Amino acid sequence: MMYDVIIVGAGAAGLYLGAQLKGANVLILEKNNRPGIKLLASGSGQCNLTHSGYISAFYERYGDHKSFVKPALKAHDNKAVIAYFESLGLKTMEREDGKVFPASLKAKDVVVALMRQVQHIRYQSNVKSIDQNENGFVVSLETGEALHAKGVIIATGGKSYPTMGSTGDGYTLAQALGHSIVPPKPGLTGVVTREKTLLALQGQSFKNSIITCTGPKTNRQIKGDLLITHFGLSGPVILNHSRWLYPGDRLKVNFLGKAQECVEKEFLEAVNHNGEKPLAFWLNQLEITDAFKNYIVDALEKEMAIQGLAQMKLGNIDKLLRKRLLSFLLAYPLEIENLIGYQQAMVTAGGVSLEEVSSKTMMSKTVANLYFIGEVLDIDGDTGGYNLQWAFSSAAAAASEIKKKLVTE
In the complex, which residues of this chain contact ligand FAD (CB under 6 A)?
Answer: 8-14, 29-32, 37-39, 41-43, 47-48, 125-127, 155-157, 160-161, 165-166, 169, 346-347, 374-376, 385-388, 391
Find the distance separating the first CA and the last CA of the chain, reported in whole Å.
16
Provide, rounded to whole angstroms, the least separation between the CB of residue 51 and ligand FAD.
8
Provide, rounded to whole angstroms, the least separation between the CB of residue 10 and ligand FAD.
5
Provide, rounded to whole angstroms, the least separation between the CB of residue 388 and ligand FAD.
3
Q: What is the dihedral of CA 53, 57, 59, 63, to 10 degrees?
A: -110
Cβ-proximal residues to 275 (8 Å cutoff; 6+ apart), any chain: 313, 314, 315
Q: How far apart are CA 263 and CA 256, in angstroms?
A: 9
Provide, rounded to whole angstroms, the least separation between the CB of residue 306 and ligand FAD.
46
Q: Which is nearer to ligand FAD, 328 or 372 (CB)?
A: 372
CB 205 within 8 A of CB 190: no
Q: Which is nearer to ligand FAD, 185 or 270 (CB)?
A: 185
Residue 44 CB coordination number (10 Å) = 9
Torsion sign across C-alpha atoms 204, 208, 214, 218: positive
Q: Where are the beta strands (DSSP E) in 284-346?
A: 332-339
Q: Which is nearer to ligand FAD, 32 or 229 (CB)?
A: 32
Provide, rounded to whole angstroms, the least separation between the CB of residue 262 and ligand FAD.
36
Residue showing the smallest CB distance to ligand FAD in the complex: 11
Q: Which is nearer to ligand FAD, 369 or 387 (CB)?
A: 387
Provide, rounded to whole angstroms, the least separation between the CB of residue 119 and ligand FAD.
18
Burial class (CB in 10 A: 0-12, 13-18, 19+), 321: middle
Q: Which is nearer to ligand FAD, 166 or 361 (CB)?
A: 166
Provide, rounded to whole angstroms, the least separation between the CB of residue 313 and ligand FAD.
51
For 121, the 3-state DSSP assignment is: strand
Q: Which is nearer to ligand FAD, 12 or 24 (CB)?
A: 12
Q: Which is nearer to ligand FAD, 116 or 323 (CB)?
A: 116
Cβ-proximal residues to 389 (8 Å cutoff; 6+ apart), any chain: 49, 50, 51, 58, 73, 78, 81, 381
